[in-house]
Amino acid sequence: TQGEQEQLDPLCTLVHNLSDSFPSGDEDNTFTGNVNNEINGNWISAPTGSIHEARLKAKVKRRLRKNSSRDSGRGDSLSDNGDVVRSVVPPTSPKGKLLNRRSRMGKGRGLPKKGGAGGKGVWGSPGEVYDEDEVDVKDPNYDAEQENCVYETVVLPLDGETFEKTVTPIVQEYFEHGDANEVAELLAELNLGSMRGDVPMLAVSLALEAKASHRELTSRLLSELCGRVLTAADVEASFHKLLKELPDLVLDAPGAPQMLGQFIARAVADNILPKSFIDGYKGRVDSEYARSALDRAAVLLRMSRWTGLRFDSLWGSGGGQRPVNQLIKEVNLLLKEFLLSGDTVEAERCLRELEVPHFHHEFVYEAVIMVLESKGDRTLQMILQLLKSLCASTVITVDQLRRGFERVYLDMADLSIDVPCAYSLLEQFVEQSFNAGVIDKKLRDLCPCRGRKRFISEGDGGRLKLSSY
């Protein structure tokens, strides 16, 4: 009828709009077909709420289709009331897994895994100790012979040229510090090899050209090295070589035969050479120098048995090792011998052999005291000549000379008690020393003079005034 057709036209328009809003597909066709069937078949009896429900479902389905490509795999679903229920499913994207560094166990504070000790090219967490890698027998580079190898540092043995360049500085430095233990430690670190027996030979050769104190140190060094670095056979072989090379050693040290004989006697006394060493050369010595050295050693050994000669003082003590009282006695003996002989060269040699350059101010002091005590012009001129010669040869330095004169100036009050005219003698000697160029003007002006008592006048009431001029 016309009334029914008027009611059906709006419904048809609604269904057509719903069908256009959905994209083409099986689901949409099915849904649209069901709605049409319902409308065409029993639309009059269909309630108004079913149309509203169909509209809501279409709206929800449209929303799901929009988010399907973006939220795929999240498991969204519809509830019975039409609400969206989103299940908690972890993301399946591999990129998301790599970027997420938090613990997947649901525990922790969100810090990086392993405390920052993992990853490529890292050493691990602080304090971590790694075990030694086990040898893999199946490794292609595995070598059964190297499994039990022990690796050590190899020191090459010294040849002749390298030996001299290495050991010579060690011995020369020993002459300065005198520590035999340090030399033994340095030699123990070297691979001497066949050159071991040349160590005593090199030390004695250097000592022949050095001072008496250095020769004493060399004898002590040989005694310390024997048994630690050297053997008795090495020491004996070295002295055999020294006797053979004496003609060459004499060219550099004219007294080499006598000094080598003393080295041999000292070595026998220290039990580093056998007593039969000298007897083995009887009747078999062709060199005059070797015969002189052996005779010197034999004489010293006989003197030690008969007179009790001490070999520990054979070379004398070094300058700094002797007591002060002994040095003062030797200085006085040197000056007295010079006053008797007048040999300036011999006095200079004896002063050098004392090896006490830091104690030369005592020599100057004793020389000036002798001038004051002698009360004669001869002693004054001889001492003045000696001091002038020693200062010119720089045996006595300016500093030592100044200290010696200043010590005399300070002790004049006590010296004048024993020598009443000490002040006048000192003024005379200082003035002549200045004229000879031994001392400078400043040191001359420091010379003290004795005060003199005198009366001013009769009107002063007999008072005494002290003045010096």
Q: What is the pLDDT of residue 452?
A: 53
Domains of the chain by start residue, with CATH? 160-313 (1.25.40.180), 324-446 (1.25.40.180)
Q: Is the pLDDT of residue 442 over 50?
A: yes
Q: Is the pLDDT of residue 350 over 60?
A: yes
Q: What is the pLDDT of residue 227?
A: 85
For 83-136, how does the pLDDT look when each residue is reduced to its tens digit (9 = 90+)?
A: 555 554 455 555 555 555 555 565 656 565 555 566 666 676 767 777 777 777
**Six-digit token string for 366:** 């004793």
Q: What is the pLDDT of residue 43?
A: 45
For 42-82, how does the pLDDT look when each residue is reduced to its tens digit (9 = 90+)?
A: 444 445 567 878 888 888 777 777 665 555 545 455 455 55
Chain Cα centroid distance, residue 284: 52
Average pLDDT over residues 304-330: 69
Task: Let me know: does 296 contact 257? Beta carbons within 8 Å.
Answer: yes
Average pLDDT over residues 281-294: 85
Which of 166, 206, 158 is CA-nearest to residue 186? 166
* 109-113, 150-154, 240-244, 337-341: range with lowest mean pLDDT: 109-113
Q: Which pLDDT band holds residue 387 (cuts at 50, 70, 90)?
A: very high
Q: Is the pLDDT of residue 307 over 60?
A: yes
Question: DSSP letter string over 122-190?
Answer: ---STT--PPPPPPPTT-TT--GGGTT----PPPPPP-HHHHHHHHHHHHHHHHHH--HHHHHHHHHTS
Q: Is the pLDDT of residue 454 over 70?
A: no
Q: Which pLDDT band holds residue 37 (cuts at 50, 70, 90)?
A: very low
Q: Is the pLDDT of residue 260 over 70?
A: yes
Q: Is the pLDDT of residue 446 over 70?
A: yes
Average pLDDT over residues 32-49: 48
Q: Which pLDDT band holds residue 150 (cuts at 50, 70, 90)?
A: confident
Task: Let me know: does 249 contact 256? Beta carbons within 8 Å.
Answer: yes
* 100-114, 182-196, 311-325: range with lowest mean pLDDT: 100-114
- Compute the radius of gyration of the chain from its Cα atoms: 57
Q: Which pLDDT band holds residue 408 (cuts at 50, 70, 90)?
A: very high
Q: Which pLDDT band holds residue 253 (cuts at 50, 70, 90)?
A: confident
Q: What is the pLDDT of residue 112?
A: 57
Average pLDDT over residues 172-183: 87
Q: Which pLDDT band holds residue 455 (cuts at 50, 70, 90)?
A: very low
Q: What is the pLDDT of residue 311?
A: 61
Q: Is the pLDDT of residue 19 over 60?
A: no
Q: What is the pTM of this model?
A: 0.48
* 2-11, 18-27, 198-207: range with lowest mean pLDDT: 18-27
Q: What is the pLDDT of residue 144?
A: 73
Q: What is the pLDDT of residue 3?
A: 54
For 217-237, how does the pLDDT look when each residue is reduced to its tens digit (9 = 90+)?
A: 888 899 899 888 888 899 999
Which has more pLDDT, 404 or 177?
A: 404
Q: Is the pLDDT of residue 434 over 80?
A: yes
Widest CA span of the chain, in angstroms? Answer: 182
Mean pLDDT across the chain, nearest whole number? Answer: 76
Q: What is the pLDDT of residue 465?
A: 47
The one-letter amino acid code at 424 reads S
Cα–Cα distances in Å, from 289 out to 211, 234, 248, 310?
Answer: 21, 22, 10, 25
Spatial separation of the C-alpha atoms in residues 121 and 336, rounded to whole Å: 86
